[in-house]
Amino acid sequence: MVSNSEEFDVRASDYQLRSNWSSSPEVAAAAVQLLTDRDLGSLLDAGGGTGFLADYVVGRLGAARTVVLDESLGMLSHVPPGLVRVAKAIEALDASDGMFDTILLRQVLHYVEDPADVLRVLSGRLAASGVMYVGQIVAPDPVAADWLQSVARAMSPNRRRVWTPVSLLSLISRSGLSLTRGSIVPHVDALSSWVSRSAQQVDPREWERLLGTLTPELCSAMDIQHRGAGLQYRLYWMHCLVTVAPARK
């Protein structure tokens, strides 16, 4: 099995081209909206990949210093000039990395081994009045999350989980964080587009099996539509602005 960083090193060259959200101004604008009345100070984009989100946010709101941290050198090689690149796993962050007033964490938590630990490590790097933006694509309900998880794991064992709004909020609160503001926005995706972003080919018989497990309830929860030979479905973006809960400060 290839590691997370090896998978993203392979995907890096056309990552932004293939993704229908990573370089979307509309999706990035949701983070700007949540952060808009703040002084971003020193900003860390954790698992920031090619740095599109950090660049977009800082381009609109400004920041004293911007660090894009990622364990994939391939992804970091696409970070725009002017942003500091740090090649490191989030789990390895410590006091020597300093403190940040703003942390961005978008579409990373499903790749890490222990998401609560990652949130705790990042909380430890957050200045006293700092905030963290957590953005994740979530499923409408637990049954849809289970189905999407099976599809995701077939495409990459590194994609470890799919949340629902409730389970993501539960993770946030279990990790000692409080939700300050947030939004949920519908996100329409297509299976063919998801497959094209995958690092690994899925055995056609496995596809057949997975598609055979689609129930009418799932089709309705995810608003699954047949488009030509493919499937289109509706998920949600959860955009959360969180702070360290008072008991943890």
Ligand X SMILES: C[S@@+](CC[C@H](N)C(=O)[O-])C[C@H]1O[C@@H](n2cnc3c(N)ncnc32)[C@H](O)[C@@H]1O
- The residues that touch ligand X, with contacts defined as CB under 6 A, are 4-5, 8, 22, 47-49, 52-53, 70-72, 75, 89-91, 106-108, 111-112
Nearest-approach distance from CB 5 to ligand X, in angstroms? 6
| Cβ closest to ligand X, residue 71 vs residue 189 | 71
Task: Kindly state the DSSP code that residue 224 receives in the 8-state scheme.
Answer: -
The two beta strands, 100-106 and 126-138, are parallel
Shortest Cβ 216–ligand X spacing (Å): 31
Coil, helix or strand for 178?
Answer: strand
- With CB atoms as reference, the residue minimizing the distance to ligand X is 49
Which 8-state DSSP code applies to residue 73? Answer: H
Nearer to ligand X by C-beta: 108 or 154?
A: 108
Closer Cβ to ligand X, 106 or 187, answer by number: 106
Structure tokens belonging to residue 146: 């289970």
By C-alpha distance, which of 247, 249, 214, 243 is closest to 231? 214
Burial pattern 213-228, b for ≥16 Cβ within 10 A else e, equals: eeeeebeebbebeeee
Q: Within a 13 Å sphere around the CA of 97, how many CA atoms are in the beta-carbon half?
A: 29
CB of 209 to ligand X, least distance (A): 26
Q: Which of 12, 218 has the CB closer to ligand X?
A: 12
Q: Closest separation between CB of residue 101 and ligand X, Å?
A: 19
The one-letter code for the residue type at 130 is G
For residue 176, the number of C-alpha atoms closer than 13 Å in the C-beta half-sphere is 15
Count Cβ neighbours within 10 Å for each residue of 32-62 and write b for 16 or more, e otherwise.
bebbeeeebbbbbbbbbbbbbbbbbbbeebe
| Shortest Cβ 74–ligand X spacing (Å) | 8
Compute the least distance from the CB of residue 41 to ligand X, in Å: 20
Minimum CB distance to ligand X smaller for 177 or for 218: 177
CB nearer ligand X, residue 8 or residue 237: 8
